[in-house]
Amino acid sequence: MTPIYFFLSLLATARTNSDYLALALGSMLGPVFHVLTPGFDLLLGGVAGGTIAYVFGRHRRRELPRE
């Protein structure tokens, strides 16, 4: 029950598209990392998903026209 509660609390507090992207990527990469490194799957999935979402968000903010 703890992982479900943790995931739902992260989902409830997500505010930007980058937050949702990080949750989605972390959820998709978790099973991949479970096959590759079973003891570190949650950690690596979260770090990889969060990093990709952060870079995507920074790149996207840079492309927006400034007024």
Q: What is the pTM of this model?
A: 0.81
Per-residue pLDDT tens digits for 1-37: 788 898 999 999 999 999 999 999 999 999 999 999 9
- Check residue 38 and report its DSSP letter: G
Residue 32 contacts residue 39 (beta carbons within 8 Å): no
- CA distances to 31, 32, 38, 44 from 35, rounded to whole Å, are 7, 5, 6, 12
Q: What is the pLDDT of residues 30-56, one digit of tens each?
A: 999 999 999 999 899 999 999 999 999
- Using only C-alpha atoms, the chain has a radius of gyration, in whole angstroms, of 14
Spatial contact of 43 and 26, defined as CB atoms under 8 Å apart: no
Closest CA to 46 of 12, 14, 22, 19: 22
